[in-house]
Amino acid sequence: MQLPDKPTLDGVEDRWAQRWEEAGTFRFDRSHERKTVFSIDTPPPTVSGSLHVGHVFSYTHTDAIARFQRMRGREVFYPMGWDDNGLPTERRVQNHYGVKCDPSLQYDPDYEPPDEPPKRHLSISRRNFVELCGRLVEEDERKFEELWRRLGLSVDWSLTYTTIGDAAQRCSQRAFLRMLARDEAYQSEAPTLWDVDFRTAVAQAELEDREMPGAYHAIRFAHADADGAVVIETTRPELLPACVALVAHPDDERYRALFGTNVLTPLFGVEVPVLAHRLADPEKGTGIAMICTFGDLTDVIWWRELALPTRPILGWDGRMLETAPISLDAAGATDNWAELTGKTVKQAQVRITELLVESGHLVADPKPITHAVKFYERGDRPLEIVTTRQWYFRNGGRDEAVREELLARGRELRWHPEYMRARYESWVGGLNGDWLVSRQRFFGVPVPVWYPLDAAGAPVYDNPLVPDEALLPVDPSSESPTGYAEDQRGEPGGFIGDPDVMDTWATSSLTPEIAGGWEDDPDLFARVFPMDLRPQAHEIIRTWLFSTIVRAHLEFGSLPFTDASISGWVLDPDRKKMSKSKGNVVTPMEHLVKHGSDSVRYWAASGRPGTDTAFDEGQMKVGRRLAIKLLNASKFALGVIGDAPTDRAAITEPLDLAMLAALSDTISDCTKAFEIFDYARSLERAERFFWGFCDDYVELVKNRAYGAAGPEGSDSARAALAIALSAIQRLFAPFMVFVTEEIWSWWQEGSIHRAPWPSTEEVSGLEGDRAVYLVAADVLGEVRKAKSDAKRSIRHAIDVATVVDSADRIDALRSAADDVKEAGRIASLSLTVGDNYLVTVELADDPAA
């Protein structure tokens, strides 16, 4: 045993992180069978910028569970992944280097970005752009790894994967091709939600509603074959040239007579029908609406169900097209159209409103309103709807049977906490279409198909050319399909590559398959899949969790993991969600340095599963205090235990046996809590026992342990202390990973993180009457209180202490009377049976008597 003179927390993080790496403490041993493995489907953090304290929070929860399982004897498969593919990285690269991607440019192998990002972004080729993305994410990933190591995550760093790496691309493309072969992936040319800034399609899962100001514009449409007019109200007058019909509710008496008649659009004089449809809301505006292709998702439904023509007016860049989709024969129509072309939606709205005023078609001033508008969650402007060819995965959004199967998977999965299941169910229940997976972006996994070109040079989309799985990953924009030469690219009779990449979720929904080496390493895959645990935050249940279940269900007919543990958010001290835009984001490293990693972990582990938790430095200080207490209490207890061997058979004192009974209860509580992934409860139980152990038990027995009552009493106390201390250190090991390793190293061989989790077996047969510990602690507390009330030192001697209590408790106390007297410096202890618990104390005149 080697005890430091002055124990300290200084430097424990660096010292032990390095030892763990050298010793391979957390290396996954793949020789274990599936049933002894505990595999974790780690969330790959998005590598675009910096980690924030919310990451530290949730990853600490997972790490505590990983360490518990490891100590319980499971071989833990705990990889780290980096989600580097996708838009966040592209955006970061654009800003960091001041560049933008132009796929029409040629690759420059010697390209170097400017030292200072220029104000006006430089256009570079797709391949150069992707290379810059790769360079930047490598830097970010190094910083992330440094932080994770400092935090003490027990990750096996040799298993690290990235979502843009070859293995992930191969996995993602393979899964795509298999879905294509099973007709679970398909193409469709259809109206699609579109972000005009990113110029890409967006999926339902990536939408959010934002309350935005708008205005109802009341616009008069003249009847085509009769006098008079009908007034509609719209928030989007700029879509007037895209109008294909007016619509009212079939039961709406006001408009019934108009159904089947035609009206003329103002400014453009296009004849459109007045139709009936149940989705027209009589309460909204004037109760009659114009249908445009396309203003919103209801327009899409109307367009489809009423079989209306398509009149697109918006380009992919969100500006009004050059070519009108309508005849411009009507008077003034050509001029009016010319006023709009090239304008953004916003500019067009202003101009068309002016034109409507001039022409007298705007019947009232616009009425300002606030309404929910759909945005891409990362976007800055409202989504538009444009018609494009896209790839979709069937996810139950259009198929009731598949939806039911996925709901059944949600019920099969064990959720922690249980109530999070409701989020999954409401999301799956509300799906309104299949999963749109193609993105018109660059830094992602390419859609692995080509299209043959017919004799006229037009792509034959119905007959895509697919690569052999052995050739994956492929990049169709730089590689040619089997049977074609590169010089046939773009030529009639040749081919073109699909220019799109897949949605980042289309790849990250395969993290269990990527990390587990699906098809690349079948032996590994069989040992880790389905995973035992998916830890993640609640905000991505609809995206990551759901999509992962979809993929595993379709590919394997199983869940991708059996348990999901859902972490909450970190809120700022005012209980607001932390976000970059609010400027209240806390960067973790400074707190790891300031308070110590164990202290920050303690704060994180105090957050109950699923519960949003306020960022609280106070709680970190408590963690710091706990770490120091562990240090000092261990040093002291080990000093008392000494180098002489201890023998559990020597534990005969009732107080020692009572303490061990309480320890047994604690071990049992902590274990049960961890088994249901309630790390916070486990920590709280361990902590409660530990403080009582220090305040009461150690105080009660230290004199006896030093030999005040002879060798037998000392041996009993020393052996009990050794058993308890060992268990305490291990109970805290999943949380206070550095300090527990430190104190374990003073007297034990090997890492505490590979030591067995405490078991009630360790104290079996040693559980005495719990009441002895309880009563002794109660009385000692009364004695302390008496001294404190009298403003005397805790060491002040007592002439006589009298305890009145029930017969049972007096009996229990009698068996620990000598320890109570020693700890309280009580000369005479008088025990009386009575109805009302009472402790009275007579302080000695001489404090040291």
Partner RNA sequence: GGGCGGUUAGCUCAGGGGUAGAGCACUUCCUCGACACGGAAGGGGUCGGAGGUUCAAAUCCUCUACCGCCCA
Question: Binding residues for RNA, per CB under 7 A?
Answer: 8-10, 204, 209, 372, 419, 422-423, 426-427, 429-432, 538-539, 542, 571, 573, 575, 577, 606, 608, 611-614, 616, 618-619, 621-622, 624-625, 628-629, 632-633, 635-636, 639, 681, 684, 691, 694-695, 698-699, 702-703, 706, 708, 781, 784-785, 787-789, 791-795
Beta carbon of residue 791, minimum distance to RNA (angstroms, whole number): 4
Closest CA to 289 of 243, 335, 330: 243
Evaluate whether 465 touches 497 at the Cβ level (below 8 Å).
no
Nearer to RNA by Cβ, of 426 and 828: the residue is 426
Beta carbon of residue 207, minimum distance to RNA (angstroms, whole number): 7
Beta carbon of residue 47, minimum distance to RNA (angstroms, whole number): 23
Instruction: For 339-392, give the DSSP string.
Output: HHTT-BHHHHHHHHHHHHHHHT-B-S--EEEEEEEEEETT-SS--EEEEEEEEE
1 contacts: CB under 8 Å, gap ≥ 6: 638, 642, 643, 746, 747
Residues 286 and 514: their CA atoms lie apart, in Å, by 54
Neighbour count for residue 404 (Cβ, 10 Å): 12
Beta carbon of residue 330, minimum distance to RNA (angstroms, whole number): 38
Beta carbon of residue 10, minimum distance to RNA (angstroms, whole number): 7
Beta carbon of residue 678, minimum distance to RNA (angstroms, whole number): 8
Instruction: For 216-264, give the DSSP string.
Output: EEEEEEEESSSS-EEEEEES-GGGGGGEEEEEE-TT-HHHHTTTT-EEE
Nearer to RNA by Cβ, of 102 and 695: the residue is 695
Query: Cα separations (Å) of 350 from 239, 317, 356, 362?
Result: 12, 18, 10, 13
Residues 537 and 324: their CA atoms lie apart, in Å, by 47
Beta carbon of residue 622, minimum distance to RNA (angstroms, whole number): 4
Beta bridge partners of 800: 828, 842
What are the tokens at 115? 């030292």
Nearer to RNA by Cβ, of 249 and 825: the residue is 825
Evaluate whether 352 touches 340 at the Cβ level (below 8 Å).
yes
Nearer to RNA by Cβ, of 320 and 638: the residue is 638
Nearer to RNA by Cβ, of 141 and 695: the residue is 695
Beta carbon of residue 668, minimum distance to RNA (angstroms, whole number): 14
Nearer to RNA by Cβ, of 504 and 606: the residue is 606
Nearer to RNA by Cβ, of 695 and 769: the residue is 695
* Sole residue written with tokens 């240090």: 631
Beta carbon of residue 395, minimum distance to RNA (angstroms, whole number): 12
Nearer to RNA by Cβ, of 100 and 792: the residue is 792
743 contacts: CB under 8 Å, gap ≥ 6: 7, 630, 631, 634, 635, 729
Query: Cα separations (Å) of 201 from 207, 392, 697, 723?
Result: 11, 11, 66, 62
Beta carbon of residue 270, minimum distance to RNA (angstroms, whole number): 31
Nearer to RNA by Cβ, of 128 and 740: the residue is 740
Nearer to RNA by Cβ, of 262 and 632: the residue is 632
Beta carbon of residue 714, minimum distance to RNA (angstroms, whole number): 11
399 contacts: CB under 8 Å, gap ≥ 6: none
Nearer to RNA by Cβ, of 635 and 814: the residue is 635
Evaluate whether 565 touches 534 at the Cβ level (below 8 Å).
yes
Evaluate whether 194 touches 201 at the Cβ level (below 8 Å).
yes
Q: In the Cβ-directed half-sphere of 632, how many Cα atoms lie within 13 Å?
A: 10
15 contacts: CB under 8 Å, gap ≥ 6: none
What separation, in Å, do the N-terminal and C-terminal C-alpha atoms of the chain show? 36
Beta carbon of residue 562, minimum distance to RNA (angstroms, whole number): 21
Residues 629 and 742: their CA atoms lie apart, in Å, by 13
536 contacts: CB under 8 Å, gap ≥ 6: 43, 58, 544, 545, 564, 565, 566, 567
Nearer to RNA by Cβ, of 103 and 639: the residue is 639
